[in-house]
Amino acid sequence: MKRLTLEDIAREAGVSKQTVSRVINHNPDVARETRTRVQDIINRLGYQPNQIARSLSAKRTRTIAVVISKIDQYGPRAILLELDQQAHAAGYRLLPYIIHETEPSDLDAYLRNLLSHQPDGVIWAISNIGDLLESLSPDSSLPIPIVATDINVSGIQSAVAVAHVQASQMAVAHLIEQGSQHVGVITGPPNWAVSRLRLEGWRQGLIEAGLPPDDHQIVQGDWSAQSGYEAMTRLLSQYPQVDAVFASNDQMALGVLHLLYERGIHVPDAMCVAGYDDIPEAAYFSPGLTTIRQPYTDICRITVQTLVRLIDAHNADEPYPPIEKSLLYPKLIVRGSSLRKKAGETIKLETA
């Protein structure tokens, strides 16, 4: 089965390739009658233009490359899905560059490889190898526009900022408001920017409540449920007074809940637990998990819109328009894992 080309359609319709090309690209300079005749033939034969040839000739691929970490984490996965939908809506395809290992050994070569597929723009949706970006020589700046999702990466602009610090602070304030006095925290790996921000939110939450934070209240995980389980084990031994935990994502919170279940420590009476992300399963943990819901749809919509605007400017040889940064606020979702029974004699420090 030979593939159809522009020429086949042109021959069949008795016009030149150029006219067919105009029909395909909705160029107005085609007679009404010619257009319908050509279009009919295209439909009848099921012709689809070769995108590779089209890209080479037009010098644009209608493709957006996305650099993202493994999608087994909820955050990256939600972002990839949303970006895919938003990009489609804007007429672009996504070209995912999934980073499987922690870091590519040679980021510069990695980016050159990415560019060799001629994407029209790049979305930087990975936060744990941001520092590496500085290894890019400043003069080798990309020949195409690039934006980051919600992450501050040196040298890459971002159209949105998520108030991670405030959101985490809000969660911690809630734990304290429910009567907790000794709030521990389980962080993600420190090379992820979001880890550092959520930790900072915890710190500020404590300070705000007049409870000085201390290092022995902090344990580190790697985002997985298992690491949450192990981290909680460590926390219980190094900080026995702990009566509430803020886990930096929901998976780790799940590991925490499991350990408490095993040890027979009641949640929330003996221990309040909060997570971060509001994965779809969080409502069905036992008990349901108090957590922070992120505005992924907004993040991705704004990011794609911004990038598309930059691409348009790039194609029109205009200077890039300034990027205005939207500040987005996550939402605290309160569920059973932190709601102490009102009837109980639990201590309340303050009320919001």
Partner DNA sequence: GTGAAAGCGCTAACAT
Partner DNA sequence: ATGTTAGCGCTTTCAC
User: At closest approach, how far in Å is the CB of 50 from a copy of itself?
Assistant: 6
d(CA 271, CA 266) in angstroms, rounded, equals 6
258 binds DNA (CB under 7 A): no
H/E segment holding residue 258: helix 250-263
For DNA, how many residues bind (rule: CB under 7 A)?
A: 28
Residue length of the chain: 352
Q: Which of 1, 31, 316, 327 binds DNA (CB under 7 A)?
A: 31
User: At closest approach, how far in Å is the CB of 1 from a copy of itself?
Assistant: 5
The binder of 108, among DNA, a copy of itself, none, by C-beta within 5 to 8 A per type, is a copy of itself
User: At closest approach, how far in Å is the CB of 129 from a copy of itself?
Assistant: 17
Q: Which is nearer to DNA, 45 or 98 (CB)?
A: 45
Dihedrals φ, ψ of 64, to 5°?
-120, 125
Cβ count near 120 (within 10 Å)? 24
Q: Which of 24, 107, 136, 142 binds DNA (CB under 7 A)?
A: 24
Cα separation of the two ends of the chain: 70
> How is residue 223 written in tokens?
């985002």
> How is residue 192 written in tokens?
């992820």
80 binds a copy of itself (CB under 8 A): yes
> How is residue 293 written in tokens?
């819901």
295 binds a copy of itself (CB under 8 A): no
Residue 153, beta-bridge partner list: 156
Q: Which is nearer to a copy of itself, 36 or 50 (CB)?
A: 50
Dihedrals φ, ψ of 291, to 5°?
-160, 180
231 binds a copy of itself (CB under 8 A): no
Contact in structure between 341 and 269 (CB atoms under 8 Å): yes
User: At closest approach, how far in Å is the CB of 44 from DNA?
Assistant: 16
d(CA 33, CA 95) in angstroms, rounded, equals 38
17 binds DNA (CB under 7 A): yes
117 binds a copy of itself (CB under 8 A): yes
d(CA 171, CA 194) in angstroms, rounded, equals 15
- Interface residues toward a copy of itself, by CB under 8 A: 1, 3, 46, 48-53, 55-56, 61, 70-72, 77-78, 80-81, 84-85, 93-96, 98, 100, 108, 112-113, 115-118, 140-141, 143, 224-226, 228-229, 251, 254-255, 257-258, 261, 280-281, 283-288
